Amino acid sequence: MRDYGVFPCLVLCLAAMSAPAAARDRVEVPAGHVTLADPMIAQLELKLTDGSLLKGKFTADHDALPIRTDFGDIAVSWKTVRGFTVSDDRETILVEFINADRITGHIRSGSIPVEGVLGVVNVPWSVVQSAQVHLVTPTRTPETQPLTPVGVRASGSYGQTTPAMAIDGRSDTSWCSGAWGGWIELDLGAVYNLAQIRFELQFSPVGPATHEVYVSDKPIAECLDDARLLKSLSGTRHDHDVLTVHCPDGVKARYIQILCPSSVSWFSIKQVQVIPGE
């Protein structure tokens, strides 16, 4: 092994000594088994000096508690904290961590923002007595599954494409009308409450186009007399654009038609999805 001597070590030591004081004094607090990347929400029970109790969560721009200790200034993530107590001098705080560590320091912020039933309340530290922090996993609403059409037809098809390719759930297939316009129509098999209709375009070249979405309890085809126009979408289109129509409350239909009255590209759709309402 080559011996480089003590000179590089001396350079490193001098560099560390010349680093800004703030950088040298910053201390990373152990996070226990929880990290900032964990999908957890820190909820707070804040006890005030007058006996009041506030419950809520910390705002996004206040995810750490800045305190000054004997060994430097630190920013403590709320996700590492079990609770804290403020002393009678209203400046000193005792923080208890989820891994049973404790630390005492001086508060370096004027207030603590708490988001609860009263909205965002900036609570002055001067009225804070103690708090408990609880980590909870946010509940996620499962996405509603799209309806499965029982049939589909179109104004025409180009080459080997078929209307069924627009509802086969595959991203590598598509239906094409073989023209700069046309329509495709889904039969849901029964009348459903509708929440969303979304479809992905196969589109080239980039340019303007208009797409209209109609719904009806009866087959539509070329006759729009009994159909309801939900939305007309116009704009510059690109390949793989996904257009979404949000259905007003109370919209029910069995048949859904997507019509293209004008386009610089042949009318082609990769996939159509119909999301039911409640």
pLDDT per residue as tens, the chain (278 positions): 444 443 333 333 334 333 343 333 333 333 333 333 345 667 888 899 998 988 887 765 567 788 999 988 988 887 788 888 999 888 899 999 888 889 999 988 888 888 877 778 888 988 989 988 887 766 555 668 999 999 999 999 999 999 999 999 888 899 999 999 999 999 999 999 999 999 999 999 999 999 999 999 999 999 999 999 999 999 999 999 999 999 988 899 999 999 999 999 999 999 999 999 98
Domains of the chain: 22-136 (no CATH), 151-276 (2.60.120.260)
Q: Are 116 and 55 in contact (CB under 8 A)?
A: yes
Backbone angles phi, psi at 21, to 5 degrees: -60, -40
Backbone angles phi, psi at 111, to 5 degrees: -155, 170
Burial 79-107 (b: 16+ CB within 10 A, else e): bbbbbbebeeeeeebebbbbeeeebebeb
DSSP category for residue 12? H
Cα–Cα dist 48/130, whole Å: 7
Cα–Cα dist 233/242, whole Å: 11
- Strand-by-strand arrangement of the 81-86 sheet: 72-77, 64-69, 102-107, 92-97, 81-86, 128-136, 41-48, 53-58, 111-116, 119-124
pTM (2 d.p.) = 0.52
Cα–Cα dist 191/252, whole Å: 6
Burial 39-78 (b: 16+ CB within 10 A, else e): ebebbbebbbeeeeebebbbeeebebbebebeeebbebbb
Neighbouring CB atoms inside 10 A of 206's CB total: 13
CA-to-CA dists, residue 18 to 7, 70, 123, angstroms: 17, 21, 39
DSSP category for residue 166? G
